Amino acid sequence: MEEKEEKAQETQKKPAKLSKKDRNTLIIVSTIAVLTLTAFSLSLAFGFSNNNNETYYDWYNAKAGLYDSEGKYIDGSASSFTFGDSENGKSLISITNSFENASKAYLPSVVSLNGTQKKLDTIGNGETSILQGEYGLKEIYVNRSVDKVLSFSFANATTLTTYSHGFEKDSPLEFGNKVFYGDENLVDVFLPKNTATIGKSIFEGCISLEELNLSNTYINTIPESAFASTTSLKNLSLSKSLYSIGKSAFYKSGIETFEANSDLETIGENAFEGSSLKEINLAASKLIVLNAKVFKDTTQLNKLTISSKIKRINNNAFASSSLTSIDFEGTSEMWDAIEKDDEWNKDSSLTSIVCSDKSIDLIN
Protein backbone atom coordinates (compact mmCIF):
# COMPACT_ATOMS: atom_id res chain seq x y z
CA MET A 1 0.00 0.00 0.00
CA GLU A 2 2.73 2.43 0.99
CA GLU A 3 4.68 1.46 -2.13
CA LYS A 4 1.68 2.34 -4.35
CA GLU A 5 1.27 5.75 -2.67
CA GLU A 6 4.97 6.56 -3.20
CA LYS A 7 4.70 5.72 -6.92
CA ALA A 8 1.57 7.90 -7.19
CA GLN A 9 3.39 10.85 -5.59
CA GLU A 10 6.36 10.41 -7.97
CA THR A 11 3.97 10.44 -10.91
CA GLN A 12 2.39 13.72 -9.73
CA LYS A 13 5.83 15.36 -9.44
CA LYS A 14 6.76 14.58 -13.08
CA PRO A 15 5.88 17.43 -15.48
CA ALA A 16 3.33 16.72 -18.16
CA LYS A 17 4.87 15.91 -21.52
CA LEU A 18 3.86 18.42 -24.26
CA SER A 19 2.78 17.21 -27.65
CA LYS A 20 4.76 18.30 -30.73
CA LYS A 21 1.94 20.67 -31.73
CA ASP A 22 1.91 22.29 -28.27
CA ARG A 23 5.69 22.72 -28.33
CA ASN A 24 5.55 24.48 -31.71
CA THR A 25 2.78 26.78 -30.50
CA LEU A 26 4.80 27.67 -27.40
CA ILE A 27 7.85 28.50 -29.54
CA ILE A 28 5.81 30.78 -31.82
CA VAL A 29 4.21 32.64 -28.91
CA SER A 30 7.57 33.12 -27.22
CA THR A 31 9.14 34.43 -30.43
CA ILE A 32 6.35 36.97 -30.97
CA ALA A 33 6.74 38.18 -27.40
CA VAL A 34 10.47 38.67 -27.82
CA LEU A 35 10.06 40.52 -31.14
CA THR A 36 7.38 42.78 -29.71
CA LEU A 37 9.54 43.66 -26.73
CA THR A 38 12.52 44.29 -29.02
CA ALA A 39 10.51 46.56 -31.31
CA PHE A 40 9.26 48.54 -28.33
CA SER A 41 12.77 48.90 -26.99
CA LEU A 42 14.05 50.09 -30.38
CA SER A 43 11.27 52.66 -30.71
CA LEU A 44 12.43 54.14 -27.43
CA ALA A 45 16.09 53.95 -28.37
CA PHE A 46 15.54 55.77 -31.68
CA GLY A 47 13.97 58.84 -30.09
CA PHE A 48 15.94 61.85 -28.95
CA SER A 49 15.33 65.45 -27.89
CA ASN A 50 16.93 68.76 -28.79
CA ASN A 51 17.14 71.95 -26.76
CA ASN A 52 13.55 72.86 -27.66
CA ASN A 53 12.23 69.70 -26.04
CA GLU A 54 11.33 68.24 -29.43
CA THR A 55 11.65 64.48 -29.88
CA TYR A 56 12.25 62.73 -33.18
CA TYR A 57 11.64 59.16 -34.28
CA ASP A 58 12.91 57.37 -37.36
CA TRP A 59 11.97 54.15 -39.19
CA TYR A 60 15.53 53.28 -40.24
CA ASN A 61 17.66 51.11 -37.98
CA ALA A 62 19.35 54.24 -36.71
CA LYS A 63 18.49 57.12 -34.46
CA ALA A 64 17.47 60.21 -36.43
CA GLY A 65 20.29 62.74 -36.48
CA LEU A 66 23.80 63.20 -37.85
CA TYR A 67 26.43 60.47 -38.23
CA ASP A 68 30.07 60.34 -39.21
CA SER A 69 31.41 58.45 -42.23
CA GLU A 70 31.79 55.25 -40.19
CA GLY A 71 28.14 55.31 -39.10
CA LYS A 72 28.69 56.55 -35.55
CA TYR A 73 25.97 58.78 -34.11
CA ILE A 74 27.12 62.29 -33.20
CA ASP A 75 25.93 63.42 -29.78
CA GLY A 76 24.21 66.78 -29.78
CA SER A 77 23.29 66.60 -33.45
CA ALA A 78 19.59 67.01 -32.58
CA SER A 79 20.18 70.75 -32.39
CA SER A 80 21.07 70.73 -36.11
CA PHE A 81 17.42 70.34 -37.14
CA THR A 82 15.09 73.34 -37.36
CA PHE A 83 11.38 72.74 -37.82
CA GLY A 84 8.33 74.75 -38.75
CA ASP A 85 4.66 74.03 -39.22
CA SER A 86 3.30 72.51 -42.40
CA GLU A 87 -0.35 72.34 -43.41
CA ASN A 88 -0.95 69.06 -41.62
CA GLY A 89 2.17 68.44 -39.59
CA LYS A 90 5.77 69.58 -39.37
CA SER A 91 8.25 70.78 -41.98
CA LEU A 92 12.03 70.55 -41.84
CA ILE A 93 13.28 74.05 -42.59
CA SER A 94 17.02 73.55 -42.23
CA ILE A 95 19.87 71.27 -41.26
CA THR A 96 22.71 73.35 -39.87
CA ASN A 97 25.78 71.19 -39.77
CA SER A 98 28.39 72.53 -37.36
CA PHE A 99 30.07 69.14 -36.91
CA GLU A 100 33.20 68.73 -39.01
CA ASN A 101 32.98 64.93 -38.85
CA ALA A 102 29.28 64.73 -39.81
CA SER A 103 28.71 62.88 -43.08
CA LYS A 104 25.17 61.48 -43.00
CA ALA A 105 21.75 62.75 -41.93
CA TYR A 106 18.85 60.47 -41.00
CA LEU A 107 15.64 62.50 -40.90
CA PRO A 108 12.84 61.80 -38.36
CA SER A 109 9.27 60.81 -39.05
CA VAL A 110 7.61 62.28 -35.95
CA VAL A 111 8.31 65.48 -34.05
CA SER A 112 6.99 65.67 -30.49
CA LEU A 113 6.76 69.09 -28.87
CA ASN A 114 5.73 69.18 -25.22
CA GLY A 115 3.97 65.85 -25.54
CA THR A 116 2.15 66.62 -28.80
CA GLN A 117 3.29 64.48 -31.71
CA LYS A 118 3.14 65.65 -35.32
CA LYS A 119 4.27 63.86 -38.45
CA LEU A 120 7.16 65.29 -40.40
CA ASP A 121 5.59 65.50 -43.88
CA THR A 122 7.39 68.36 -45.62
CA ILE A 123 10.99 69.30 -46.40
CA GLY A 124 12.09 72.82 -47.30
CA ASN A 125 10.71 76.33 -47.58
CA GLY A 126 10.39 76.39 -51.36
CA GLU A 127 12.97 79.15 -51.79
CA THR A 128 16.40 78.05 -50.54
CA SER A 129 18.37 74.92 -49.69
CA ILE A 130 17.82 73.42 -46.25
CA LEU A 131 21.50 72.50 -45.97
CA GLN A 132 23.24 75.18 -43.95
CA GLY A 133 26.32 75.48 -41.80
CA GLU A 134 30.07 75.37 -42.21
CA TYR A 135 30.29 71.71 -43.24
CA GLY A 136 28.52 69.81 -46.02
CA LEU A 137 26.74 66.47 -45.79
CA LYS A 138 27.29 63.55 -48.16
CA GLU A 139 24.25 61.35 -47.51
CA ILE A 140 20.60 62.18 -46.78
CA TYR A 141 18.09 59.51 -45.70
CA VAL A 142 14.49 60.72 -45.65
CA ASN A 143 11.71 59.02 -43.76
CA ARG A 144 8.64 57.67 -45.55
CA SER A 145 6.43 60.10 -43.61
CA VAL A 146 7.60 62.94 -45.90
CA ASP A 147 5.31 63.39 -48.91
CA LYS A 148 6.48 66.83 -50.09
CA VAL A 149 10.01 67.94 -50.89
CA LEU A 150 9.75 71.61 -51.82
CA SER A 151 11.73 73.48 -54.48
CA PHE A 152 15.47 74.07 -53.94
CA SER A 153 15.54 71.85 -50.81
CA PHE A 154 18.94 70.31 -51.66
CA ALA A 155 20.05 72.63 -54.47
CA ASN A 156 23.74 73.38 -55.00
CA ALA A 157 24.75 70.86 -52.32
CA THR A 158 28.17 70.24 -53.82
CA THR A 159 29.14 67.58 -51.26
CA LEU A 160 25.92 65.54 -51.53
CA THR A 161 26.49 62.10 -53.07
CA THR A 162 23.49 60.05 -51.85
CA TYR A 163 19.76 60.65 -51.43
CA SER A 164 17.34 57.92 -50.33
CA HIS A 165 13.61 58.33 -49.63
CA GLY A 166 11.43 55.82 -47.76
CA PHE A 167 8.35 54.27 -49.38
CA GLU A 168 4.82 55.04 -48.15
CA LYS A 169 2.16 53.18 -50.10
CA ASP A 170 -0.81 55.35 -49.11
CA SER A 171 0.59 58.79 -49.91
CA PRO A 172 1.78 60.24 -53.27
CA LEU A 173 5.22 61.84 -53.04
CA GLU A 174 5.87 65.22 -54.70
CA PHE A 175 9.19 66.88 -55.54
CA GLY A 176 9.32 70.57 -56.42
CA ASN A 177 11.52 72.46 -58.89
CA LYS A 178 15.32 72.34 -58.73
CA VAL A 179 15.38 70.08 -55.66
CA PHE A 180 18.82 68.69 -56.59
CA TYR A 181 19.85 71.47 -58.98
CA GLY A 182 23.62 71.80 -59.33
CA ASP A 183 24.47 68.84 -57.07
CA GLU A 184 27.56 68.02 -59.09
CA ASN A 185 28.67 65.05 -56.95
CA LEU A 186 25.28 63.34 -56.61
CA VAL A 187 25.66 59.73 -57.79
CA ASP A 188 23.15 57.59 -55.88
CA VAL A 189 19.44 58.47 -55.82
CA PHE A 190 16.54 56.31 -54.71
CA LEU A 191 13.00 57.63 -55.29
CA PRO A 192 10.30 55.23 -54.05
CA LYS A 193 7.32 53.80 -55.93
CA ASN A 194 4.91 56.38 -54.53
CA THR A 195 6.77 59.23 -56.26
CA ALA A 196 4.07 60.95 -58.32
CA THR A 197 5.59 64.22 -59.56
CA ILE A 198 8.99 65.81 -60.08
CA GLY A 199 9.55 69.50 -60.76
CA LYS A 200 11.37 71.48 -63.43
CA SER A 201 15.17 71.23 -63.46
CA ILE A 202 15.06 68.76 -60.56
CA PHE A 203 18.37 67.11 -61.58
CA GLU A 204 19.76 69.85 -63.82
CA GLY A 205 23.52 70.09 -63.51
CA CYS A 206 23.94 66.78 -61.66
CA ILE A 207 26.98 65.97 -63.78
CA SER A 208 28.04 62.85 -61.82
CA LEU A 209 24.67 61.08 -61.91
CA GLU A 210 25.13 57.98 -64.09
CA GLU A 211 21.92 56.03 -63.56
CA LEU A 212 18.43 56.46 -62.19
CA ASN A 213 15.53 54.03 -62.00
CA LEU A 214 12.06 55.61 -62.11
CA SER A 215 10.35 52.65 -63.78
CA ASN A 216 8.30 51.67 -60.73
CA THR A 217 7.15 55.20 -59.90
CA TYR A 218 3.93 56.99 -60.87
CA ILE A 219 5.79 59.78 -62.67
CA ASN A 220 3.95 60.36 -65.96
CA THR A 221 5.52 63.70 -66.90
CA ILE A 222 9.18 64.62 -67.32
CA PRO A 223 9.06 68.41 -66.87
CA GLU A 224 11.13 71.14 -68.46
CA SER A 225 14.91 70.75 -68.08
CA ALA A 226 14.45 67.90 -65.59
CA PHE A 227 17.66 66.17 -66.71
CA ALA A 228 19.40 69.05 -68.48
CA SER A 229 23.20 68.90 -68.31
CA THR A 230 23.27 65.48 -66.65
CA THR A 231 26.24 64.70 -68.85
CA SER A 232 27.09 61.34 -67.23
CA LEU A 233 23.54 59.96 -67.23
CA LYS A 234 23.60 56.82 -69.40
CA ASN A 235 21.04 54.54 -67.78
CA LEU A 236 17.61 56.02 -67.14
CA SER A 237 14.51 53.85 -66.67
CA LEU A 238 11.23 55.72 -66.91
CA SER A 239 7.68 54.90 -65.90
CA LYS A 240 5.60 52.90 -68.37
CA SER A 241 2.78 55.42 -67.89
CA LEU A 242 4.90 58.35 -69.17
CA TYR A 243 2.84 60.57 -71.48
CA SER A 244 4.73 63.86 -71.65
CA ILE A 245 8.33 65.05 -71.99
CA GLY A 246 8.86 68.76 -71.44
CA LYS A 247 10.95 71.38 -73.19
CA SER A 248 14.71 70.79 -72.91
CA ALA A 249 14.06 67.82 -70.64
CA PHE A 250 17.25 66.03 -71.75
CA TYR A 251 19.21 69.04 -73.00
CA LYS A 252 22.91 68.14 -73.09
CA SER A 253 22.27 64.96 -71.11
CA GLY A 254 24.28 61.76 -71.43
CA ILE A 255 21.27 59.65 -72.39
CA GLU A 256 22.13 57.36 -75.34
CA THR A 257 18.94 55.41 -76.08
CA PHE A 258 15.25 56.09 -75.70
CA GLU A 259 12.23 53.94 -76.51
CA ALA A 260 8.80 55.49 -76.18
CA ASN A 261 5.90 53.67 -74.59
CA SER A 262 2.38 53.58 -75.98
CA ASP A 263 1.12 56.42 -73.73
CA LEU A 264 3.63 59.06 -74.79
CA GLU A 265 1.77 61.96 -76.42
CA THR A 266 4.12 64.96 -76.45
CA ILE A 267 7.81 65.77 -76.62
CA GLY A 268 8.64 69.43 -76.11
CA GLU A 269 10.94 71.72 -78.06
CA ASN A 270 14.68 71.14 -77.63
CA ALA A 271 13.90 68.02 -75.59
CA PHE A 272 17.00 66.09 -76.71
CA GLU A 273 19.07 69.00 -77.97
CA GLY A 274 22.81 68.51 -77.54
CA SER A 275 22.35 65.12 -75.86
CA SER A 276 24.44 62.00 -76.41
CA LEU A 277 21.44 60.26 -77.98
CA LYS A 278 22.40 57.51 -80.45
CA GLU A 279 19.13 55.69 -81.02
CA ILE A 280 15.50 56.61 -80.41
CA ASN A 281 12.34 54.65 -81.17
CA LEU A 282 9.05 56.56 -81.15
CA ALA A 283 7.06 53.96 -83.08
CA ALA A 284 4.83 52.85 -80.22
CA SER A 285 3.94 56.38 -79.10
CA LYS A 286 0.86 58.53 -79.74
CA LEU A 287 3.09 61.37 -80.87
CA ILE A 288 1.71 63.47 -83.74
CA VAL A 289 4.19 66.40 -83.76
CA LEU A 290 7.99 66.57 -83.87
CA ASN A 291 8.65 69.92 -82.23
CA ALA A 292 11.22 72.55 -83.15
CA LYS A 293 14.86 71.71 -82.41
CA VAL A 294 13.83 68.49 -80.70
CA PHE A 295 16.94 66.70 -82.03
CA LYS A 296 19.16 69.72 -82.64
CA ASP A 297 22.89 69.13 -82.15
CA THR A 298 22.48 65.38 -81.55
CA THR A 299 25.86 64.68 -83.10
CA GLN A 300 25.83 60.96 -82.25
CA LEU A 301 22.29 60.14 -83.40
CA ASN A 302 22.27 57.41 -86.05
CA LYS A 303 18.79 55.85 -85.82
CA LEU A 304 15.30 57.32 -85.47
CA THR A 305 12.05 55.41 -85.90
CA ILE A 306 8.72 57.27 -86.02
CA SER A 307 5.16 56.05 -86.50
CA SER A 308 2.64 56.86 -89.18
CA LYS A 309 0.72 58.90 -86.59
CA ILE A 310 3.08 61.86 -87.11
CA LYS A 311 1.16 64.75 -88.72
CA ARG A 312 3.60 67.64 -88.42
CA ILE A 313 7.35 68.40 -88.24
CA ASN A 314 8.40 71.85 -87.03
CA ASN A 315 11.38 74.02 -87.94
CA ASN A 316 14.95 72.92 -87.25
CA ALA A 317 13.86 69.59 -85.77
CA PHE A 318 17.13 67.99 -86.95
CA ALA A 319 19.45 71.00 -87.18
CA SER A 320 23.13 70.05 -86.84
CA SER A 321 22.20 66.43 -86.12
CA SER A 322 24.27 63.53 -87.42
CA LEU A 323 21.13 61.60 -88.40
CA THR A 324 21.16 60.71 -92.11
CA SER A 325 17.87 58.80 -92.45
CA ILE A 326 14.52 58.34 -90.72
CA ASP A 327 12.67 55.03 -90.49
CA PHE A 328 9.01 55.91 -91.10
CA GLU A 329 6.43 53.19 -90.43
CA GLY A 330 3.94 54.60 -92.91
CA THR A 331 3.90 54.65 -96.70
CA SER A 332 5.62 57.25 -98.87
CA GLU A 333 2.21 58.78 -99.56
CA MET A 334 1.63 59.17 -95.82
CA TRP A 335 5.05 60.82 -95.46
CA ASP A 336 4.21 63.32 -98.17
CA ALA A 337 0.95 64.14 -96.36
CA ILE A 338 2.80 65.21 -93.19
CA GLU A 339 2.71 68.97 -92.72
CA LYS A 340 6.28 70.26 -92.60
CA ASP A 341 7.53 73.74 -91.76
CA ASP A 342 9.66 75.35 -94.47
CA GLU A 343 12.83 74.86 -92.45
CA TRP A 344 12.03 71.48 -90.88
CA ASN A 345 15.14 70.00 -92.46
CA LYS A 346 17.42 73.06 -92.30
CA ASP A 347 21.08 72.43 -91.43
CA SER A 348 20.46 68.70 -91.05
CA SER A 349 22.39 65.71 -92.42
CA LEU A 350 19.26 63.88 -93.59
CA THR A 351 19.48 62.26 -97.00
CA SER A 352 16.59 59.80 -97.02
CA ILE A 353 13.30 58.68 -95.48
CA VAL A 354 12.81 54.90 -95.35
CA CYS A 355 9.07 54.24 -95.70
CA SER A 356 7.20 50.95 -95.59
CA ASP A 357 6.88 50.83 -99.40
CA LYS A 358 10.01 52.64 -100.60
CA SER A 359 12.75 55.09 -99.70
CA ILE A 360 12.49 58.82 -100.42
CA ASP A 361 15.63 60.65 -101.52
CA LEU A 362 15.88 64.09 -99.88
CA ILE A 363 18.93 65.25 -101.84
CA ASN A 364 17.32 65.58 -105.26
Residues 6+ apart with CB under 8 A from 148: 86, 121, 122, 123, 173, 174, 176
Domain count for the chain, please give it.
1
For residues 213 and 226, what is the distance between their CA atoms, to the nearest angstrom? Answer: 14
Amino acid at 8: A
Please tell me the predicted confidence (pLDDT) of residue 19: 58
Sheet architecture: strand order including 139-142 = 65-67, 104-106, 139-142, 162-165, 188-190
Question: For 82-99, what is the mean pLDDT?
Answer: 93
pLDDT value of residue 34:
39
Tell whether the model's pLDDT for residue 174 goes beyond 70.
Answer: yes
Give the domain range for residue 107. 46-141
Q: Which residue has the higher pLDDT, 40 or 336?
A: 336
Give me the mean pLDDT over the 155-178 stretch.
94
In this predicted model, which residue has the larger pLDDT, 55 or 62?
A: 62
pLDDT band at 179 (very low <50, low <70, confident <90, very high): very high
Contacts for 340 with CB less than 8 Å, ≥ 6 apart: 312, 313
Q: How confident is the model at residue 40 (pLDDT cuts 50, 70, 90)?
A: very low
Alpha carbon dihedral 288, 294, 299, 301, in 10-degree steps, equals -20
Q: Write down the pLDDT at residue 356.
A: 97
Instruction: Identify whether 91 is part of a domain.
Output: yes
Q: How confident is the model at residue 117 (pLDDT cuts 50, 70, 90)?
A: confident
| Residues 152/181, Cβ–Cβ less than 8 Å | yes
Q: Are 161 and 136 in contact (CB under 8 A)?
A: no
Percent of the chain with pLDDT over 70: 83
Whether the per-residue pLDDT at 268 is higher than 60: the answer is: yes
Distance CA 189, CA 126 (A): 21
Q: How many residues does the chain have?
A: 364
Residue 75: inside a domain: yes
- DSSP character string of 3-33: HHHHHHHHHHHSPPPPPHHHHHHHHHHHHHH
pLDDT digits (tens, 9 = 90+) for 222-267: 999 999 999 999 999 999 999 999 999 999 999 999 999 999 999 9
**pLDDT greater than 70 at residue 180:** yes
The predicted pLDDT at position 15 comes to 44
Q: What is the mean pLDDT of residues 52-77?
A: 71
Find the mean pLDDT for residues 168-183.
94
**pLDDT of the residue at 57:** 39
Confidence of residue 153 (pLDDT cuts 50, 70, 90): very high
Residues whose CB is less than 8 angstroms from the CB of residue 277 and which lie 6 or more positions away in sequence, other chains included:
250, 255, 256, 257, 258, 295, 298, 300, 301
Residue 39 has what pLDDT?
37
- Rounded to 5 degrees, what are φ and ψ at 79? -70, -5
Half-sphere exposure of 358 (CA within 13 A, CB side): 6
Residue 331 has pLDDT above 70, yes or no: yes
Determine, yes or no, domain membership for 313. Answer: no
- pLDDT reported for residue 353: 98
307 falls within a domain: no
Closest CA relative to residue 102, chosen from 121, 123, 81? 81
pLDDT at 92 exceeding the cut of 60: yes
Is residue 165 included in any domain, yes or no? no
Model confidence band, residue 310 (pLDDT cutoffs 50, 70, 90):
very high
CA–CA dist 270, 84 (Å, integer) = 40
pLDDT of residue 191: 95
- Parallel, antiparallel or unpaired: strands 352-354 and 325-328: parallel
Strands 104-106, 131-132: parallel, antiparallel or unpaired by DSSP? unpaired
Is the pLDDT confidence value at 283 over 50? Answer: yes
54 located within any domain: yes
Cα distances (angstroms) measured from residue 110 to each of 102, 146, 153: 22, 10, 19
Residue 331 forms part of a structural domain: no
The burial of 147, by beta-carbon neighbours within 10 Å (0-12 exposed, 13-18 middle, 19 or more buried), is given as buried
pLDDT at 10: 46
- At 85, which helix (H) or strand (E)? strand 81-85
Residue 340 — pLDDT band, cuts 50, 70, 90? very high
pLDDT of residue 4: 47
Query: What does the pLDDT read at residue 11?
Result: 46
Q: How far is CA 128 from CA 65, 149, 271, 293, 335, in A?
A: 21, 12, 27, 33, 49
> Is a pLDDT exceeding 70 seen at residue 5?
no
Tell me the average pLDDT of the chain. 86
Lowest mean pLDDT among 1-15, 71-85, 292-306, 325-339: 1-15
Q: Would you say residue 230 lies in a domain?
A: no
According to the model, what pLDDT value does residue 327 have?
98
pLDDT of residue 112: 79
Q: Is the model's pLDDT at 46 over the cut of 50?
A: no
Query: Which DSSP state fits 329?
Result: S
